[in-house]
Chain A
Amino acid sequence: EAGVVQSPRYKIIEKKQPVAFWCNPISGHNTLYWYRQNLGQGPELLIRYENEEAVDDSQLPKDRFSAERLKGVDSTLKIQPAELGDSAVYLCASSLAPTSGGYNEQFFGPGTRLTVL
Chain B
Amino acid sequence: GNSVTQMEGPVTLSEEAFLTINCTYTATGYPSLFWYVQYPGEGLQLLLKATKADDKGSNKGFEATYRKETTSFHLEKGSVQVSDSAVYFCALWKTGANNLFFGTGTRLTVIP
Question: Which positions in A face B, CB cutoff 8 Å?
Answer: 3-4, 40-45, 48, 55-56, 91, 93, 98, 101-103, 105-111
Q: Determine the chain B residues whose CB is within 8 A of the CB of A43 once the complex forms.
A: 44, 89, 100, 102
Question: Which positions in B face A, CB cutoff 8 Å?
Answer: 4, 6, 32, 41-46, 49, 51, 89, 91, 93, 95-96, 98-100, 102-105
Q: Are B41 and A110 neighbours in the complex by a CB distance under 8 Å? A: yes
Q: Determine the chain B residues whose CB is within 8 A of the CB of A41 once the complex forms.
A: 104-105
- Chain A contact residues, majority secondary structure: loop
Q: Determine the chain A residues whose CB is within 8 A of the CB of B100 once the complex forms.
A: 43, 45, 106
A101-B98 in contact given A4-B43, A42-B89, A91-B43 (Cβ < 8 Å): yes
Q: Give the contacting residue for B104; candidates A40, A91, A109, A111; CB below 8 A.
A: A40
Q: Give the contacting residue for B44; candidates A40, A55, A91; CB below 8 A.
A: A91
Q: Are B99 and A48 neighbours in the complex by a CB distance under 8 Å? A: yes
Q: Determine the chain B residues whose CB is within 8 A of the CB of A55 once the complex forms.
A: 98
Instruction: Give min CB distance, B44 to chain A, whole Å.
Output: 4
Q: Are B43 and A111 neighbours in the complex by a CB distance under 8 Å? A: yes
Closest A residue to B103 by beta carbon equals: A42
A44-B41 in contact given A101-B95, A101-B96, A105-B46 (Cβ < 8 Å): no
16 additional A-B pairs beyond A4-B43, A43-B89, A43-B100, beta carbons within 8 Å, are: A3-B43, A40-B104, A41-B104, A42-B4, A42-B6, A42-B89, A42-B102, A43-B44, A55-B98, A91-B44, A101-B98, A103-B93, A103-B95, A105-B46, A108-B44, A108-B45
A34 to B6 CA separation, bound complex (whole angstroms): 22
A42-B104 in contact given A98-B98, A103-B93 (Cβ < 8 Å): yes
Instruction: Give min CB distance, A7 to chain B, whole Å.
Output: 13
Q: Determine the chain B residues whose CB is within 8 A of the CB of A105 once the complex forms.
A: 46
A50 to B52 CA separation, bound complex (whole angstroms): 26
